[in-house]
Amino acid sequence: MVRPLHPDPTVHRRRLRPVPQLPAGPPGSAASWWKTTEKYKSGASNLVVGRQVLHEAYTLGKSLGNRHLLALAGKVNALKAINVVLTASDVAVAGFCSRCGTHGSTPDKKTAYIWVGNSEAQCPGQCAWPFHQPIYGPQTPPLVSPNGDVGIDGVIINLATLLAGTVTNPYNNGYFQGPASAPLEAVSACTGVFGSGAYPGYPGRVLVDKPTGASYNAVGANGRKFLLPAMWDPQTSACKPLV
């Protein structure tokens, strides 16, 4: 059973290029999912996409370690930003299948960054569940991905997890439970929960798009559908799924 996430005495607040306050949005919206982060004492964090760099030359190769991720994250230097590194399905990253993605900061703690990889060709059962048969545990049928791409829909789940973890625990001295080297954070404390009634091997009750049979629980910009993981609600001390 997951206990409340306790803050270190120093809690940092981080923004992705400040924008006007996001509206709560209707139930089941991506905006309403993000509003839960406001319940942490670090306060509201508004997100907006900044500069994007497409690095197709593979100048660091297709087998990367942590130092390579840090180098890629450092290619964009912006104040009050979280640099996000997304790697393609043909890029291997050390420890990929045991973490699917990670977040950290530069040694001077001036820049926070996130890495998430596309697991389609490597370990989708670990990093793209529930859209792929799991590697371990109950072999329940996978859900149909809402965007028709198991790897990308898995990236969305992991990116959402790490964005929430970064704004509530950017430097490993914010909100988390357990050791700082392997913390349970705002969303990772609720791993595997996407809807009400979830249990190991079952993601919970989610919405289904009738024309495609795809499973989702959130609607974002331009009506795009997503499956977002539950987030720990510090006010109720429970995992809070969107549906």
Parse the chain into domains and list their residue ranges: 12-240
pLDDT in the model for residue 51: 83
In degrees and rounded to multiples of 5, residue 92 shows phi and psi of: -95, 135
What pLDDT shows up at residue 25?
52
- What's the chain's Rg over C-alpha atoms? 17
pLDDT in tens, 88-118: 999 999 999 999 999 999 887 778 999 999 9
* Its pTM surpasses 0.85: yes
Q: Are 226 and 17 in contact (CB under 8 A)?
A: no
- The CA–CA distances, whole Å, from 202 to 31, 54, 74, 105, 139 equal 25, 36, 38, 34, 10
The span from the CA of 224 to the CA of 212, in Å, is 13
Q: What integer pLDDT is reported at residue 6 of this predicted model?
A: 40
Q: How confident is the model at residue 12 (pLDDT cuts 50, 70, 90)?
A: very low
